[in-house]
Amino acid sequence: MLEIKRRDGLGRLAKWNTPRGKVALPDIAIVVNPNKQLIPIKELVREFKPQILMTNSYIIRRSKISEKIEKKGLHKFLAFNGLIYTDSGAFQFYSRGIKDFDPEEIIEFQKKIGSDVITPLDLFTFQDDSKGVVEKKLKETVKRIRSVDKGDRLLVGPIQGGRFLDLRRRAARLVMKENVDVFAIGGLVPLMENYEFKSLVEQVIVARNELAVNKPIHAFGCGHPMVFSLLVLLGFDLFDSAMYSIAAENDRYLTPEGTLRLEDIEELPCSCPVCSSTTASELKKMNKGDRAKMLARHNLYVILGEIRKIRQAIAEGSLFELVQQRVRAHPSLLEAFTYVLKKYGKFIEEYDPVTKRSAFLYSGPESEFRPEVMRAKKQIKHVKAERFFEKEPFGNVPLGLKYVYPFGQSLGPGKEVKKEPSHEEWVRQVIEYQFGRGASKFFKSLRIRKSPVTGMPRRVFIDGQFVGAIRPNDGFFIPNIKGAELIKKATKRPKNRVVINDDAAPFVRDGKSVFVKFVRDCDPNLRPWQEVLVVDKRDNLVATGTALLNAREIKGFRRHVAVKVRHH
């Protein structure tokens, strides 16, 4: 199960509860081969401190050390106490034309060697497979997943479907019904290798749209840092690859923007421990074995550094900005990003927070299709206003929203707006922007107290009663119970509401958070970080607070906080 901490687009900072403790996501499972250790595993664990190691059960089973690993178990053999994930070897079976295999035997072998996360032998689907072939492989893969007795292990559910979007959807729906713990979308490596990123993102997002929201999603075989941020933005939590090692053996130097050949490098464009302690010239003069080890370490530093950069970007709400930097590394990436925003922007917007810690930065024409812009254009239609200002890429914006997110926290083309809203304009218009048309109907005879430091509106009163405050960082209105009652009175159920069970109401009235299992219903248009009204089934106000999940997630999670209560 997952616990979401922060998010941006479909990307999420989450804690994954596993048999080996909590794992921070997104992350990459570092692939190791016990038979061939370019970086000795003990050294890798000590230097890079991975959360997850991945190894291939097919390779182990066919190796001379198989019996030794069976006897000791993977964790002792690898001297690693973290999460160990084993692949079934599906790609090796089909790339090498091996036919003498038993799917049940492969699962039992993974259990025998002590893997924490086990993978059934799915039928690898190639992009040029016919639809009939793909359908047969899909059915057989689901049959094999269904037959697995996972015991106390975590089970992977491979999702294939090839280039056929309807089969990708069907595969996702079928696998979701099984007792799996990780969704793994496969068949993506050939698309990456051929830079067919437009096909890749479409195959990914149609499957992602069907999957449950409470489990990790793994991009099988994707291990190049240039695609991590885009795939995280589209909902992936996990990656894996031995690319750091394979590239090193071929004198390839990974960067977040692509791959360089060592022979073409004059200066090492990196400050990792490897690149800080040697030069390109010195690397070229090393013997092949030493050079490969140095390049593998550099590649791994780059891969893990990009994962950390992505996690930080999600934490501060700047993942879209990072993606827009990364996709400019290759025209096919930029094309894929723009395409997916245009075609699937509505789905992405469902998961994107209504407010973020960092500003919206216009980074190019594709910025016009970002979820913040789509949502803002829709919500300003709810606002009654007489004065407006022009703000790209949002268009004509009510003046009262000048300092409200994302309008007041954005940098883009256009002139500075000199007109200033009155404080009453600000309060009324932001309430309608947040809570809907007519939501400010009962906010009459306003008295607004300014910040003594900035002079901006802060505390809002009606007839001497405090009803809420303007939040400094995003200009949003945060109602207290009195303010929430006025908003509830002006809007119809289920607008802005989270409806809870009667037995949970006493706890929420005492200020306890609202958990998903106590939610009866909610506004279907609920978005993460939206200010909401918590009501009982008779629409009596119980509390106000911040929704941590969207409507789909509230229904999809079994254990998670739905609303962090603010006033009760």
Catalytic positions, please?
A: 87
Q: What angle do CA 525, 213, 242 make, to 5 degrees?
A: 135
Element (H, E) at 175: helix 165-176
Residue 2 structure tokens: 């997952």
The amino acid present at 190, given as its one-letter code, is P
Nearest to 8 by CA among 230, 406, 219, 318: 318
C-alpha radius of gyration, the chain, whole number: 26
Q: How far is residue 344's CA from residue 341's CA, in Å, rounded to a whole number? A: 5
State how far the alpha carbon of 441 is from the alpha carbons of 427, 491, 525, in Å: 12, 9, 21
- Cβ-contact 435, 496 below 8 angstroms: yes
Cα–Cα dist 237/250, whole Å = 28
Q: Is beta strand 154-159 parallel, antiparallel or unpaired with respect to 117-118?
A: parallel
What six digits make up the tokens of 32? Answer: 């190791």
On the 0-12 / 13-18 / 19+ scale of CB atoms within 10 A, 204 is: buried
Query: In angstroms, rounded to a whole number, what is the distance separating the alpha carbons of residues 64 and 36?
Result: 12
Q: Is the peptide bond before 494 cis (omega within 30 degrees of 0)?
A: yes
| Cα torsion angle, 211, 516, 5, 27, sign | negative
Q: If you count DSSP H runs as helices and E runs as strands, how many of each does the chain have, helices first?
A: 22, 27
Q: What is the C-alpha separation between 222 and 228, in angstroms, rounded?
A: 8
Phi, psi of 319, deg, nearest 5: -65, -40
- Of 224, 227, 289, the C-alpha closest to 260 is 224
